[in-house]
Amino acid sequence: MINNVYISGTGYNVPNRIVTNDELSNYMDTSDEWISERTGIKERRYIDSEMGPSDLAIPAVEKALSNASLTVYDIDMIIFATSTPDYYAPGSGCLLQDKMGFNNIGALDIRVQCSGFIYGLSIAEQYIKNGTFDNILLVGAEVQSTAMDLSTRGRDVAVIFGDGAGAAIISKTNDDKGILSSHLHSEGKYAKELWLETPSSKLNPRFSDDLIKDGSHFLKMNGREVFKNAVRRFPEVILEALNSNNLDVNDIDLLIPHQANLRITQMIQKKLKLDDSKVFSNIHKFGNTTAASVPIALAEANEKKLIKDNDIVLLAAFGSGFAWGSTLIKW
């Protein structure tokens, strides 16, 4: 019998340091009004000490385990989505396994940037559906602040991103609930519209003083191209999920989109004609946390009891790659 697969627990963690738009104006030519109008972001969180995504993830995982009434010994596999790993090798999932005392279970890092959590959900679902595992820990965690060019040169990117971690426990169930379907896409011709060029294995040496001077180690974004594609792909992949399950927009109880930019979310909402109560947003206080964005938003919505049993919840993301996807869930 094929198991249904559901999210049995959620949790999130953000650093204590709050970085306001006014603080950023001390480092670059910007203002609270300029940032708010273009992004909807008022503040974001930065780490305030040496810390990697595996460290940020620990409190989020503890909350998710507690929410699911499970312990580390109940987890059969770790999937860790991040674009800012602690190190190039080994993966952050292995570091988390050691730091939290999990059994010697598999730990898989995936790198699909803003869509990482959606991709990770799809992977976890298959492992559980085919009977390989019962409970999988899925983490999305990022430390973006150390990759930001906090100067006027890097302003368009630096004002958007923040640090954080979200976690979910993916489990089997015989109840009539869980993941209904996932839908994944990519279009690599846009790779350089949102990318981090160096360090690169194509270069020898991979890093140099000249590269640092050029700023190629900072994240770069063509905001206009990202926006144009995001407002097209988000509605497409949301409708794809609904159509695949013979549902329509009116059946959505809560849409949780990747927190990329409030203007993008508002455009999606307008195209789909969704009420404010059906679209979750927390970008104003956390910024864009990349792979952590969707699980943080999901955990916060769950914590606030905005999701009820049998609700139709739709998760959707779009980001670097370009890669995008959606997951439809009966809660």
Report, as residue numbers or ranges, the catalytic residues. 114, 258, 288
| Closest listed residue to residue 108, CA positions, set 137, 129, 148 | 137
The C-alpha atoms of residue 140 and residue 118 are separated, in whole angstroms, by: 10
DSSP symbol at 310:
T
Compute φ and ψ for 204, nearest 5 degrees. Answer: -140, 105
| Closest listed residue to residue 109, CA positions, set 127, 133, 92 | 92
Compute φ and ψ for 39, nearest 5 degrees. Answer: -130, -25
The C-alpha atoms of residue 54 and residue 75 are separated, in whole angstroms, by: 17
The residue written with tokens 């690599």 in the block is 188
Using CB atoms within 10 A of its CB, is residue 89 exposed (0-12), middle (13-18) or buried (19+)?
exposed
Cis peptide before 117, with omega less than 30 degrees from 0? no
The C-alpha atoms of residue 8 and residue 121 are separated, in whole angstroms, by: 13
The C-alpha atoms of residue 297 and residue 179 are separated, in whole angstroms, by: 17
81 forms beta bridges with 110, 140
| Closest listed residue to residue 117, CA positions, set 14, 258, 238 | 258
The C-alpha atoms of residue 293 and residue 331 are separated, in whole angstroms, by: 19
The C-alpha atoms of residue 70 and residue 83 are separated, in whole angstroms, by: 28
Residues 277 and 254 sit within 8 Å (Cβ to Cβ): no
| Closest listed residue to residue 86, CA positions, set 103, 98, 68 | 98
The counts of H helices and E strands in the chain are 11, 13
